[in-house]
Structure 1
Amino acid sequence: MRYEERLTVSWWVWLIVAFVGGAGFVAVAPISTVVGLIVAAVLVVGIGLAVHLGAPRIVLTDEDLRVGRAHIEREYVGAAEALRGAEARAARGPGLDGRAFMNFRVSVPDLCRIQIVDPVDPTPYWLTATRHPDELARAINEGQRRAVSSAPR
């Protein structure tokens, strides 16, 4: 495994989950405090599990690249570029190619643009959120250099 990251949500999303649980308690507590506590617990645990288990993973191996449920063989992965700040905002907005594969997360502002070099795939690149765009781009680009240098001549 060359790189692995799980795109978990930021701390402030957990505040929203707690707020929803509190709202469930407040809605049901006038009827029964015990039922209100049960509703709050079920909401917090249910939403918390959905948020945690639904977090996509980025996994780069010598064989393939996986982002969430999408995967592509390593031979079709081109150069990668880390995007932060204004570059990332532009890549998400006016600079976005509608054919690109996109994996955005509201709580992860940085991106990595990964070129796709498969001649039959109309997807020009993958654009994925990552907390470590430089590390992901470095891992992809190092693997690409290794594959080029070990190719038969």
Structure 2
Amino acid sequence: MSKQPQPAARAHNGETRPSYSERLWVPVWWWPIAVAVTMLLAAEIHMGAPGIRAWLPYLVLLPLPIWVLLWLSRLRVEVTTDADDGRELRIGRAHLPVEVISRAAVVPATAKSAALGRQLDPAAYVQHRPWVKPMIVVVLDDADDPTPYWLISTRHPDRVLAALGLGTASEPEHDKT
């Protein structure tokens, strides 16, 4: 199993194409708040500076929150399929062939704290985004890889599992007797 950077999924004439793709954008309401905080900081610096120096804080600081929010939104969750129906899970630069996945399940928002806290294996591969509530856990069966599982934030865990061909882990039914 390799976690080396790979080229992006190629079109139909190439070897791979994405069967599922999702970018984990920050919430929309973060954008105006980040710009407003930056404008307040620039206004604070602007006070007492006459002439061209008065506008310099706005020009320097305004691109900063835009860059930070785009950088925080850089993570992409993809499931790619090649011509031989070989599927691969890609999280950012890391990739994982479906053949090494033994099972996968949805981690509901209520269990997220435990999965990232006291139950977390230090050797696990984690791609967590706090603004995305659900997660999936992908358990590996690869003797060459010391990573026991991947914990991944995704807004549509059922779609990711379906694209991987693993289905969804259903909740256990309660006895009605």
Instruction: Give the structure-1-normalised TM-score.
Output: 0.79
Query: What does residue range 101-120 of structure 1 map to in structure 2 within 5 Å?
Result: 101-120=125-144
Call closer, same or farther: CA 1:8–1:34 in 2, change over 3 Å: farther
- The one of 152, 157, 161 aligned to 1:137: 161
Deviation at 1:42, TM superposition (A): 3.7
Number of equivalences: 143
Q: Mean Cα displacement is larger for which, 110-119 or 82-91?
A: 82-91
Which residue among 145, 148, 152 is the counterpart of 1:124? 148
The verdict on how the C-alpha distance between 1:88 and 1:24 changes in structure 2, with shifts beyond 3 A counting, is same
1:117-153 Cα distance to aligned partner (Å, 9 max, x none): 211101111001111112112222348xxxxxxxxxx
Q: Which residue of 2 aligns with 1:43?
A: 61
Structure 1 Cα separation of the partners of residues 54 and 75 of structure 2? 32
Letter in 2 for 1:22: M
Corresponding residue SS for 1:79: strand
Whether 1:61 aligns to 2:80 is yes
Structure number, greater radius of gyration: 2
Which runs of 4 or more aligned residues in structure 1 lie more than 6 Å from their structure 2 counterparts after TM superposition?
A: none
* 8 A Cα contact 1:56 1:68, kept in partner: yes
Structure 2 counterpart of 1:47, which letter?
P
Q: Which deviations, in whole Å up to 9, do the C-alpha atoms of 1:66-102 show, x marking residues without a partner?
A: 1122112332233221111222222111221111100
- Aligned partner letter, 2:23: R
Partner of residue 174, structure 2: none
Say whether the 8 Å CA contact 1:24–1:36 is kept in structure 2. no
Question: Is 1:72 matched up with 2:90?
Answer: no
Deviation sequence 1:3-58 (CA, Å, 0-9, x none):
11101111243244213312332222211486555533542323312321442101
Question: How far apart are the structure 1 equivalents of 2:106 and 2:116?
Answer: 13
Identity %: 31
Classify the secondary structure of the residue corresponding to 2:99: helix
Contact 2:80/2:88, CA 8 A, preserved across alignment? yes
Structure 1 unmatched ranges of 5 or more: 144-153
The 10-residue stretch of structure 1 (46-55 or 96-105) with the greater mean CA deviation from structure 2 = 46-55
Alpha-carbon separation, structure 1, partners of 2:51 and 2:134: 43
Deviates more, 1:39-48 or 1:49-58: 39-48
Structure 1 equivalent of residue 44 of structure 2: 27
Aligned with 1:61: secondary structure?
Answer: strand
Are the structure 2 counterparts of residues 14 and 36 from structure 1 closer, same or farther at C-alpha, using a change threshold of 3 Å?
farther
Code of the aligned partner of 1:100: A
Moved more, 21-30 or 107-116: 21-30
Q: 1:29 to 1:64 in 2, by over 3 A?
A: same
